[in-house]
Amino acid sequence: MNQADIQKEIERRATLQEEYLGTEKPVNKIEPMVSVYVATYQHAPYIKACLDGIIFQEVTFPIEIIIGEDDSTDGTRAICIEYGKKYPDKIRLFLRDRNLSHLKDERGQLIKMLNGFTGFGVLSCRGKYIALCEGDDYWTDPLKLQKQVDFFNRKEDGFIMSYHDASLIDEKGSLISKSMFRDKEKRDLSSTEIISGEYMHTSTIMFKNGSISQLPSKSCYVLNGDDLLYTLLAQYGGAKYLTNIKPNNYRIHAGGIWSPLKRYDRLRHNINTRKHLIDLVEPKYKWIINRYLFVSNIQMVPFCHGLNQRLKQYIHAYKYFALDTRYIGKWFSVHVYLLNMIFEKMKQVQHNFF
């Protein structure tokens, strides 16, 4: 299927997804200022904390909480139904049928799981603004949404989204790191910085709705849809860092999709994502994607087996290089990284030899 056919198929499947308790609930009759999308699967130990952190937000405007529950077998679905019954004024619950939420090709190979925001989620949100929270993460500040909407109401020019700090916790809720950012990283981000891969955690962002309706088909061949989302949004503006919001909690556990991946796998997926992004961004941003691909391909060199493969990978990276002053800083930094990795491997070899 080409991209247009994929988009049509995803939209067709979205219309077949029935909303739990129908569409005459109180929440269906409001015009939400904010849509909060929660994608959940096998999150039984965590989903209550996630939903409570959203439900108990103190706001002066209407919100809708859209839950996509992807046919869990661990009790997550029953918990979501419990909350859907209890809060019909806030929750729109979709109990997914995997025959619809898993898009496959003609050979039966999985193309994309559609339960996430970059699938059915973006097609469900009605709010002026959108916030996201995966079912295994949770918010700690009851004024988070109010503070982010207040920022947008001030109408500062140049921003399409806002974000804030996040803490890292383990599967039991124990604190691993109070902040996921160094102090110098807690700042506003320009469009160029976001497209270059500067980090924001998904559970902290809020962004303006309306500029990413074609997101589902564009996300079908990438694992890290967050980077795709940020890059598409960044073409319309930067991200404001808000210091007055308590950190969300981002949970690391074995059942996660991204957090368990090793460095090599993350690099591989990041490269794949940028290869798709190069055809999606405006021409003035393509150099940023090419520079990212250059750096990432250089970083892959130490993971190659044998001198010949490493040399081939190094040469391949220069496919994305340009004699441009905007590449110079990244060229030096990635070669320092490469030399450090080589020295580390040499030390390991000497240690094993002796």
Residues 244/186, Cβ–Cβ less than 8 Å: no
Residues 129 and 162 in one domain: yes
Q: What was the pLDDT predicted at 85?
A: 98
Residues 306 and 277 in one domain: yes
Which of residues 251, 281, 308 is at a domain's end?
A: 251
Residues 267 and 299 in one domain: yes
- Specify the CATH number for the domain of residue 219: 3.90.550.10
Residues 12/216, Cβ–Cβ less than 8 Å: no
132 has pLDDT over 90? yes
Q: CA-to-CA distance for 110 and 220, rounded, in angstroms? A: 10
Residues 207 and 348 in one domain: no
Please report whether residue 257 resides in a domain: no
Please report whether residue 18 resides in a domain: yes
Q: What is the extent of the structural domain holding 279?
A: 263-353
Cα 178 to Cα 139, 167, 352, distances in angstroms: 14, 5, 37
Could you read off the pLDDT of 268-288 as tens digits, one per residue? 988 988 998 888 889 999 999
20-29, 230-239, 304-313, 339-348: least confident range? 339-348
* CA-closest candidate to residue 116, choices 140, 99, 137, 133: 133
Beta strands in 164-262 (DSSP E): 166-169, 175-177, 206-208, 238-241, 248-251
Q: State percent of the chain over pLDDT 90.
A: 71
Query: Is the backbone of residue 42 left (phi > 0), alpha (psi -120 to 50) or beta?
Result: left
Q: CA-to-CA distance for 316 and 262, rounded, in angstroms? A: 22
Q: How many residues belong to the chain? A: 354
Residues 126 and 241 in one domain: yes
Please report whether residue 256 resides in a domain: no
Residues 172 and 306 in one domain: no
Number of structural domains, the chain? 2
Residues 286 and 154 in one domain: no
Model confidence, pTM: 0.91
Average pLDDT taken over every residue of the chain: 91
Q: What was the pLDDT predicted at 212?
A: 76
Residues 279 and 155 in one domain: no
Any residues with CB less than 8 A from the CB of 215 and at least 6 apart, and which?
118, 122, 228, 229, 232
Please report whether residue 10 resides in a domain: yes
Residues 193 and 320 in one domain: no
* CA-closest candidate to residue 64, choices 123, 124, 22, 109: 124
Residues 273 and 329 in one domain: yes
Could you read off the pLDDT of 174-204 as tens digits, one per residue? 999 999 999 999 999 999 999 999 999 999 9
